[in-house]
Structure 1
Amino acid sequence: MILWITLLILLGLLLFIAELVLLPGITLAAVGAFICLVAAATWAFVGGGLVTGFIVLGIILFCLSILTLLFLRPKTWNRVALKTNIDSQVQPVEIEKQVEVGVQGYTLTRLAPMGKVQIGDTIFEAKSLDSYIDPRREVVVIGYDNANIIVRPL
């Protein structure tokens, strides 16, 4: 009897930990933990009497309190949390500072209406306003749209 009560308590505590850490909210793990722990306490009251039942109930409540405090502390989550800061940018330098209006280049891909152009030694994302532009065609920069260059064919 003590073995089964102990196994039910351990299973209930494992399901409780899974509920706290892996599956927050009311899920099957929470329901399973509740059923296991209530079954262990009931079995202790029925099979061992009042003293054994209250001892088992006290052990269950103590373990649940300790686990809750342990897993809900911020220090616990700081050990497993990602500590890397992402400080990169999509466009590190403003496009207006890299390419001036009137500069010529050529298309690497078809601009329909977006595609890649090469201006000097640098490849940029470009946009054509009026028509599709085939690959390997000369283009001229006529403006900017956010991080894109607006071009037209020569």
Structure 2
Amino acid sequence: MTWFILISLILVGVILVLTEIIFVPGTTLIGILGLLFSVAGIYYGFLAFGNELGWWILATTFTVNFALLFYGFHSGVWTKFALKDAITSRSFDDRLLGLEKGQEGKAVSDIKPIGKAEFGDLIYEVKSDSGFIRVGSTVFITKLEDNKIIVKS
């Protein structure tokens, strides 16, 4: 039973430290708990088995922890958990494709100062630089900038 308690304390400590490194880096609480469990296991080993075996338990625990961390980082096991992809797309990249300055369209909603207008067969959100524009009015594109369509009637 003494060995079971000793191994359980040290094993829980190792698992908590690995959890800190892999899943929740930077929280430090789980890592500190892992270290406390490992220290408690080593202390329990000193109490239960005396100094000579206690030093062996300390050395073994330190060696196993170091070997697991070294193997994990050196072999690339942790890269399976790492996010390697990056989002490179942007929203509305092709929104202004086919539109040009001076193009004529029709307001399909009141534009006060933002509303909707139809250019060709597509409806776009537009902004008026000349104030209120009634639905059904003819509008012209004055500016195309920063994915915004600026119109006037």
Normalised-by-shorter TM-score class: 0.7 to 0.9
| C-alpha distance in structure 1 between counterparts of 2:52 and 2:108, whole Å | 82
- Residue in structure 2 matched with residue 133 of structure 1 by the alignment: 133
Identical aligned residues as a percent: 26
| C-alpha distance in structure 1 between counterparts of 2:115 and 2:83, whole Å | 36
Q: TM-score, normalised by structure 2?
A: 0.80
Q: CA RMSD in A?
A: 2.6
| C-alpha distance in structure 1 between counterparts of 2:75 and 2:4, whole Å | 35
The Cα shift of 1:120 comes to 0.1
The Cα shift of 1:137 comes to 3.6
Cα contact 1:124–1:148 (8 A) shared by 2 = no
| C-alpha distance in structure 2 between counterparts of 1:51 and 1:134, whole Å | 92
Task: Sort the Cα spacing of 1:105 and 1:70 in 2 relative to 1 into closer, same or farther, 3 A.
Answer: farther
Task: Provide Cα deviations, 1:80-110, integer angstroms capped at 9, x if missing partner.
Answer: 3344454434454583x62222221123444
In the alignment, structure 2 segments of 5+ residues that lack a partner are none
Mapping for residues 3-22 of structure 1, pairs under 5 Å: 3-22=4-23
Are residues 1:123 and 2:123 paired?
Answer: yes
Q: TM-score, normalised by structure 1?
A: 0.80
The Cα shift of 1:150 comes to 1.0
Task: Sort the Cα spacing of 1:41 and 1:81 in 2 relative to 1 into closer, same or farther, 3 A.
Answer: closer
In the alignment, structure 1 segments of 5+ residues that lack a partner are none
| C-alpha distance in structure 2 between counterparts of 1:107 and 1:71, whole Å | 62
Number of equivalences: 152
